[in-house]
Amino acid sequence: MPGCQINFWLDAHACVFFRCAVLPVVVEVDRVVRPGGGIIVRDEAGAVGEVEKLLRSLHWDVRLTFSKNDEGVLYAEKSDWRPELIEEPA
């Protein structure tokens, strides 16, 4: 559908509760969300910082970060960036 986008609300604390790592969740979100789509993360400031670092490494545009009383909130949008294919030497 044109103009349709999926937005995610990621509670990194839920990953800890369900004993999953944050990295695979962020990788899956990056796979599913189209460029221009957004993600909101709310958790402890340290967990939000970890997600921010991962999203920046995937070239997401981190638009908002806020922390108060050891709780953080982050909003990021996926950019058009894709990794370049590196050809192996023959």
Q: Can you state the angle between helices 22-32 and 45-57, rounded to 10 degrees?
A: 50
List the domain range (segments joined by +) for residue 42. Answer: 8-77
Domain count along the chain: 1
In a domain, 1, yes or no: no
Domain CATH for 35: 3.40.50.150
What is the pTM (predicted TM-score) of this model?
0.72
- For the chain, the straight-line distance linking the first and the last C-alpha, in angstroms and rounded, comes to 42
pLDDT one-digit tens code per residue, 26-83? 888 898 889 999 888 888 888 888 899 999 999 999 988 888 898 889 999 999 988 7
The pLDDT value recorded for residue 53 is: 93
